[in-house]
Amino acid sequence: MEDNVIILKHPLLTHKIAILRDKTTHPGEFRRIVKEVAVMEAYAALRDVPTIDVEIETPLEKTVQPMVKGNKLCFVPILRAGMGMVDGFTEVIPSARVGHIGLYRDEITHEPHEYYCKLPDHLEKMEVFLLDPMLATGGSAIDAVKMLKAHGAKKIRFVCIIAAPEGVKAFTEKYPDIPLYIGALDRQLNDAAYICPGLGDAGDRIFGTIK
């Protein structure tokens, strides 16, 4: 496994991802847990963001402390399912910017198709966190990074909740320098390119659109 692949290990994380995997978890609870998982992943993925020294005054004296410049961070969910992770990240850093990339996966070919892109200006000066709960074939994440780079992004991290080995391989072969944060690495893809054991279709489970 590449150095840039960080598989997060914490009993609370595996516990909460197990709740997401459970097919009886209803959309309201599913959304709440996705947000909680995103908060935990945010702490890990933000651990090496740059800080600046800021002078503040405690009740006792002046002091200089390192602080994170939120407006230099940009969180970019891949629509739809990535939306579920944004609340967790913005809860930790409310002043961060948020961009949106809309991609859907063709049910037959499993190829991603772009339908929306709105990103903040000056992406080249920001630390960009691309968010999507699922890394399956890797096609969507790879295309989203291509879009971010086309808009000037230079420092990109990708954060997902569940990944398949096939997606990790495809992503790291294409972008060996982009850190990939994973909540759980699953066994494999099935014939329909769904992650097994997985959690099903993340977007449908977050938004309650299961047929």
Catalytic residues: 105, 109, 201, 204
Q: Which residues bind ligand URA (CB under 6 A)?
A: 81, 134, 136, 194-195, 198, 201-203
Size of the site for ligand PRP (CB under 6 A): 23
Q: Which of ligand PRP, ligand URA, none does residue 195 bind to, with CB < 5 to 8 Å depending on kind?
A: ligand URA
Q: Which of ligand PRP, ligand URA, none does residue 194 bind to, with CB < 5 to 8 Å depending on kind?
A: ligand URA
Q: Which of ligand PRP, ligand URA, none does residue 80 bind to, with CB < 5 to 8 Å depending on kind?
A: ligand PRP
Q: What tokens appear for 32 in the block?
A: 């709440």
SS (H, E, C) the chain: CCCCEEECCCHHHHHHHHHHHCCCCCHHHHHHHHHHHHHHHHHHHCCCCCEEEEEEECCCCEEEEEEECHHHEEEEEEECCCHHHHHHHHHHCCCCEECEEEEEECCCCCCEEEEEEECCCCHHHCEEEEECCEECCCHHHHHHHHHHHHCCCCEEEEEEEEECHHHHHHHHHHCCCCCEEEEEECCEECCCCCEECCCCCHHHHHHCCCC
State the minimum distance, in angstroms, from the CB of residue 80 to ligand PRP.
4
Q: Which of ligand PRP, ligand URA, none does residue 73 bind to, with CB < 5 to 8 Å depending on kind?
A: none
Residue nearest to ligand PRP (CB): 203
State the minimum distance, in angstroms, from the CB of residue 16 to ligand PRP.
18
The window from 1-9, 53-61, 133-141, 174-182 that contacts ligand PRP (CB under 6 A) reads 133-141
State the minimum distance, in angstroms, from the CB of residue 140 to ligand URA.
8
